[in-house]
Chain A
């Protein structure tokens, strides 16, 4: 019975050890912001943070998440980088259908947390695992640059215990 720390809240789940985190989040914990796209780590729609690293939750068994901090789209805004990324996304209206955008934002936040001023090539490298069928790539790239250049707002909410910093 794995104990998971999701968005700062430790919870016990009665699920098999090999169950992918994606389905624990969606079907058991009821956090539907993380999306199912391919099931085999080809599209990035299910991207979450595990101790601040972007991982594809569809191929990450719960056993690999035990003792680590899981952050999903529902809480990424508690982190100052995540909040900046979300704000940049809204500033230039990145979204279309929106289905892939949780994963895009999680990947972008992980990128900017590790590399505050990414080059175009850095952005391509970090983001090319995330498919957008609506083709919002130009805006995603522009929004990442806006988020990278935005001053860290003093009013930004402090990182929660479960959030990557």
Chain B
């Protein structure tokens, strides 16, 4: 057990104690803290991306206003305003656990409220905006939420001490009460809040030492389980308002295309249809219900001028990208003189890897409910970026920011799709043409075909092996879209998009000469973040290529990696754990009529160390079945262990789905996939057994929402190689390449 941590609050300018409106105690605290590690900090979204939100809301007092709230009322009910959104990752349970650990309250009694849109008040310390993404929630809130809990406890204890005339140090806190063991008396928080609210912010607070936690590190049931099993949980698509209409939309199937014609008369003739709305590049049919809207849209039969991208196809996109990848790129990493070292004597290996465009395919299709009036606008929408949604609506309507209210919901999946506000912007643009509240719902086809896609990447790699077969020089050139250049241009430095090279630039391996380059190449289709972001692409490439090197050296891929981990003890420990738990040294059980193999991958990403071993069998036709995935993980201090396990289980299925089945392709400018028939999601009968093993740690928490997704594709591809001897450098894995000769 380590020593208690004393925090000097003089540095926390924004920690505030005050009275809540209507009585009770309000603790305001600064999520951005003062000591967020600079190395962890990503560049904030720029003003253009955020809209006017940041500047208007700050009013020049940024850093002084408290930006997250704990309220305790006179009944003792504790309310935590959630600055993050819940999209399945379990943050609505982990956040109150952090607060409850220090406050001394049963988390089942904590009330949670979705935060409203306010980019100043609810900014993430690691992302610089009101954003839920990048596996940052617990990492960012780890210190400020515990400090806020401890501050609340401190003033409540002081209030009790004054009341009883005793030394505060003799009092204890548990389960929402302050207890005086000597006087054998106790008072609930509710009885103390008004006195506590008058007290100044304590000069110092003491945080519990790691090892003495009562809440953190012990599995707590998800707080959203009950409502998500009885139909009560509300998602954006469930918003219902009096006199609300339902609309469905069709946008130009080709990016840049314009509406040519639409049969409004026929659409209006459908029973239940109220109105047809038109934009330059999209139409909507407003109706009493979704069925009438869908029928109306079919009758409307819009036609389009396809515009400049009419001839775009996967083949043209790929050809352009291949050409771009043949040119030198911006230097993301340079150790020694890799280009020279590659030319020296020794075995040289070259490879080109490719990963496809991917759709997010959240189970809840894109939707947004709008009530636009002359004096204001309300949005009911599930979003990872409430203040971007607010800013987009304000800009489009000309309303001041504070007149746009965003009502957030549970998200029926986010995965990066709901970091974008294209569907909000479109809904507001349509709503300008009508009166009254309307819910815009995209069909599944619209959702897949008008997604903003995980970029296509082309990666060129070269390595030279030394006499022992170990890499002496390593070269990696990433070519693809820069999402950061659009989303947060300030983050792009010297032509290098940090996201595009994440997982390629900083390797855990020690390689004497190394060069990583980035070529920005924008395809004529929109791109966006996708679960696992940069590492989902780069870890596949790096860990597949590392496997190629081990195979070329005729060395065991596990031992090969171990030998290169001379400077990363945490990574090594995780790799050894996965080797042990997967039974790496034992032969695999044969599967009748099928070729079996196992593959390993490892990564450091989102602050967490991870290694995975996948076991597969491949049929004569090349069909791949994943039987078992063993995942070892060091994500620092764990908050809710079962949530970590769940995120690994789910993240691995998510990554396997893409690696085995999915790609978005284009022909005549159009997306060729439309629904779950041709954009397949893994089903229960295809899902492997997933085993998760964690390293106990008291290091600061790492992220857990995305690592599982990122690490699994190379473990799979390496297992397929072990089973078949075929090295597939392109995702999704093509069964035709794996047929038995």
**Are A and B part of the same complex?**
yes
Q: Is the CB of B291 within 8 A of A32?
A: no
Tell me which of A95, A97, A100, A102 contacts B411 (CB under 8 A). A97
A101/B364 contact (C-beta < 8 A), A16-B271, A38-B676, A135-B654 known: no
Q: Is the CB of B229 within 8 A of A93?
A: no
CB proximity of B58 to chain A, nearest CB, Å: 32
A96 to B646, CA, bound (A): 8
Residue from A34, A90, A93, A130 whose CB has the most chain B CB atoms within 10 Å: A93
Q: Is the CB of A33 within 8 A of B289?
A: no
CB proximity of B532 to chain A, nearest CB, Å: 13
Q: Is the CB of B221 within 8 A of A128?
A: no
Tell me which residues across on chain A come within 8 A of B227, comparing CB atoms.
Answer: 98
A97/B231 contact (C-beta < 8 A), A30-B240, A40-B675, A140-B684 known: no
**Is A114 an interface residue when CB atoms closer than 8 A count as contact?**
no
A19/B683 contact (C-beta < 8 A), A43-B676, A73-B230, A90-B226 known: no
**Is A113 an interface residue when CB atoms closer than 8 A count as contact?**
no
CB-CB nearest in chain A for B649: A138
**Is A70 an interface residue when CB atoms closer than 8 A count as contact?**
no
Tell me which of B228, B240, B651 contacts A135 (CB under 8 A). B651
A93 to B677, CA, bound (A): 29
**12 CB < 8 A contacts A-B:** A27-B288, A39-B443, A40-B677, A45-B363, A98-B227, A99-B363, A131-B676, A133-B363, A135-B650, A135-B654, A137-B682, A141-B684
Q: Mark A131-147, 1 if CB is under 8 A from B, else 0.
A: 11111111111000000
Q: Is the CB of A27 within 8 A of B365?
A: no
**Is A47 an interface residue when CB atoms closer than 8 A count as contact?**
no
Q: Mark A73-100, 1 if CB is under 8 A from B, else 0.
A: 1100100000000100110011111111
Interface residues of A (CB under 8 A from B): 15-16, 19-20, 23-24, 26-28, 30-40, 42-43, 45, 72-74, 77, 86, 89-90, 93-102, 105, 123-125, 127-141
CB-CB nearest in chain B for A73: B231
Tell me which residues across on chain A come within 8 A of B5, comparing CB atoms.
Answer: none
**Is B277 an interface residue when CB atoms closer than 8 A count as contact?**
no
Q: Is the CB of A131 within 8 A of B681?
A: yes
Tell me which of A27, A74, A98, A133 contacts B228 (CB under 8 A). A98
A72/B290 contact (C-beta < 8 A), A30-B240, A128-B683, A139-B649 known: no
Tell me which residues across on chain A come within 8 A of B87, comparing CB atoms.
Answer: 97
**Is B225 an interface residue when CB atoms closer than 8 A count as contact?**
yes
A99/B684 contact (C-beta < 8 A), A26-B290, A33-B231 known: no
Q: Is the CB of B365 within 8 A of A89?
A: no
Tell me which residues across on chain A come within 8 A of B416, comparing CB atoms.
Answer: none
A33 to B290, CA, bound (A): 16
A40 to B294, CA, bound (A): 13
Q: Mark B336-370, 1 if CB is under 8 A from A, else 0.
A: 00000000000000000000000001111100000
Q: Is the CB of B229 within 8 A of A89?
A: yes
Residue from B87, B229, B289, B652 whose CB has the most chain A CB atoms within 10 Å: B229
Q: Is the CB of A93 within 8 A of B646?
A: yes
Residue from A32, A128, A135, A140 whose CB has the most chain B CB atoms within 10 Å: A135
A27 to B367, CA, bound (A): 14
**Is B232 an interface residue when CB atoms closer than 8 A count as contact?**
yes
Tell me which residues across on chain A come within 8 A of B88, comparing CB atoms.
Answer: 95-98, 134
Tell me which residues across on chain B come within 8 A of A45, comparing CB atoms.
Answer: 363
Tell me which of A28, A35, A124 contacts B685 (CB under 8 A). A124
Q: Is the CB of A74 within 8 A of B89?
A: no
CB proximity of B417 to chain A, nearest CB, Å: 11
Tell me which residues across on chain A come within 8 A of B654, comparing CB atoms.
Answer: 133-135
CB-CB nearest in chain B for A72: B231
Residue from B291, B444, B652, B690 whose CB has the most chain A CB atoms within 10 Å: B291
A33/B232 contact (C-beta < 8 A), A95-B222, A97-B412 known: yes
**Is B237 an interface residue when CB atoms closer than 8 A count as contact?**
yes
Q: Is the CB of B289 within 8 A of A101?
A: no
